[in-house]
Structure 1
Amino acid sequence: MRIATGLAFAAMMLGACGGEPPAPAAPAEPVAEAPAPAPEATGANTLTAEQSAQGWKLLFNGTDLTGWKGYKKDKPGDAWKVEDGTLALTAGGAGDLMTVEVYGPFELSYEWKISPNGNSGVIYLIQEDAKAENTYNTGPEMQVLDNDGHADGKIPSHRAGALYDIETPPDGAVKPVGEWNEAVVRFTGSEIEHWLNGKLVSESSYGDDAWKAKVAASKFKQWPLFGTFAKGHIALQDHGDKVWYRNIKVRAI
């Protein structure tokens, strides 16, 4: 009786399986690879020996505004302060804060935190040209924004991580307001990539006909010098809202 029962059970299981081998799993979709992160330093606004060997240079030392100035000015605006080891805009009216040096091609890594309903951005490839009145007349921007609280969050190409007014980032990459976000801008000379919290959120060719068409369809079409330079200054935008930056570093690529 036990033998018969066992045979019946085996037959039942064979029937359930159909005697067929399992179908092979579908191949995984290819995923864009993030830039290799700089090795973690022992503290904020510092570099390890390995980072230095890889060519990373700090743009903010955590204690003062050495290496920074205002756009077409000799020194930073008064409302840019060092606050608890961060580079903070404490009030509007200071003007954009810009590096003294120019960079390109480059990889820029930084962290940002925005205040509720706040707006800022990181602008790059800036030139202090006589025909340009502001940083954004020449340089593209990686948007910094409270997507939920600021009106620009309703405009897809104006959300956090966007190549502002040119490329729309996907949802879900930005952290809630008040939390730190990790950002990377990678500019090769012919391509731009924006990474937010390890996710590729904006990418575009640069300088070719496709780029020129995107600019012509954007608000930047009114400034002929926009997006035409192969190197330039890097700036933190004063949009009138409190914002914090830290661990700002750059390397040539």
Structure 2
Amino acid sequence: MFRSIILLIVFISPLLYSCTDSQSQPQNLFNGKDLTGWQIDIPEMDNDPNVPNPFIVRDGKLVSLGTPRGSLISDGIFSNYRLQVEYRFAGKPGNCGVLVHTSKLRVFNNIWPQSMEVQLMHQNAGDFWCIGEDINVPDMETRRGAKEEWGVTQGKKRRILNLTDGSERPVGEWNTMIIECLGSSIKVWVNNELVNEGFDCTAEKGRISLQAEGSEVEFRKVELTSIK
């Protein structure tokens, strides 16, 4: 009997180790202190070194001041992950976005990188905006407009409406957005409510970017968990 128990432990132990080892630990992309792990791309800074950086760390929070416009881009390239972002418009509500699958810089208006934007704009959180990449959703024509006008460049219908605009908390309160990128699919939750889901995305990996797009936004968490 004792020998059987020992053999059972020996057999199970590697399995337990394997299961534990395969679980991905969350990775904090923002360390709460500085912008280590990120790079900025602000077109106005190209020829004027005095242009201020719109991305700062204040009271342990990553803050997008909104202007000058541009992107804060992760050093790392990611695929198959779940990204959790906690954010708020602390003052006047406005516009901002999280860009997933970021690749080539300045493909749109000579500012925004090629990517798929998940909107943070107040009362529109979870909309998709196609920036050089594309995606499909159910009821596409209802949510994007006439098919012949779809596109991923300026002048085309790039916005894909979310499923609900009632998931955000009042201005000044913190919101939690979860973006799950798995293969060519993207799902978005706002405060635990599924607000968008797309498939057949034209990109499956890339950097992660935060926008400076006219409004001040605070981020207290930017955490990524790999999906294996």
Question: TM > 0.5 between the two?
Answer: yes
Contact 1:135 1:235 in 2 (8 A): no
Q: Which runs of 4+ in 1 moved over 4 A?
A: 129-137
Whether 1:140 and 2:116 are equivalent positions in the alignment is yes
Considering only aligned residues, what root-mean-square deviation do their CA atoms show, in Å? Answer: 2.6
**Aligned pairs for 1:39-58 within 5 A:** 54-58=24-28
Match among 197, 213, 233 for residue 207 of structure 2? 233
Unaligned 5+ segments in structure 1 are 1-49, 148-158, 208-227
The normalised TM-score by structure 1 is 0.61
Residue 139 (structure 1) shift? 0.9
Q: Which residue of 1 aligns with 2:104?
A: 128
Residue 78 (structure 1) shift? 1.4
Opposite residue 166 of structure 2, the aligned amino acid is: G
Q: Which residue of 2 aligns with 1:186?
A: 180
Calculate percent identity across the aligned residue pairs: 31
How far apart are the structure 2 equivalents of 1:101 and 1:134? 23
How far apart are the structure 1 equivalents of 2:106 and 2:165? 38
Whether 1:201 and 2:201 are equivalent positions in the alignment is no
Opposite residue 86 of structure 2, the aligned amino acid is: E
Q: Which residue of 1 aligns with 2:39?
A: 69
Q: Which residue of 2 aligns with 1:250?
A: 224
Unaligned 5+ segments in structure 2 are 1-19, 46-51, 130-158
Opposite residue 99 of structure 2, the aligned amino acid is: I
After superposition, the Cα gap between the structure-2 partners of 1:167 and 1:191, relative to the gap in structure 1 and judged at 3 Å, is: farther
Opposite residue 80 of structure 2, the aligned amino acid is: P
Q: Which residue of 2 aligns with 1:4?
A: none
Q: Which residue of 2 aligns with 1:90?
A: 65
How far apart are the structure 1 equivalents of 2:194 and 2:208? 20
Contact 2:42 2:111 in 1 (8 A): no
Residue 61 (structure 1) shift? 0.3
Q: Which residue of 2 aligns with 1:27?
A: none
Q: How many residues align?
A: 170
Contact 1:163 1:194 in 2 (8 A): no
After superposition, the Cα gap between the structure-2 partners of 1:231 and 1:134, relative to the gap in structure 1 and judged at 3 Å, is: farther
Q: Which one scores higher on RCO, CA 8 angstroms, separation ≥ 6?
A: 2
After superposition, the Cα gap between the structure-2 partners of 1:132 and 1:160, relative to the gap in structure 1 and judged at 3 Å, is: closer
Opposite residue 175 of structure 2, the aligned amino acid is: N
How far apart are the structure 1 equivalents of 2:67 and 2:57? 15
How far apart are the structure 1 equivalents of 2:173 and 2:194? 19
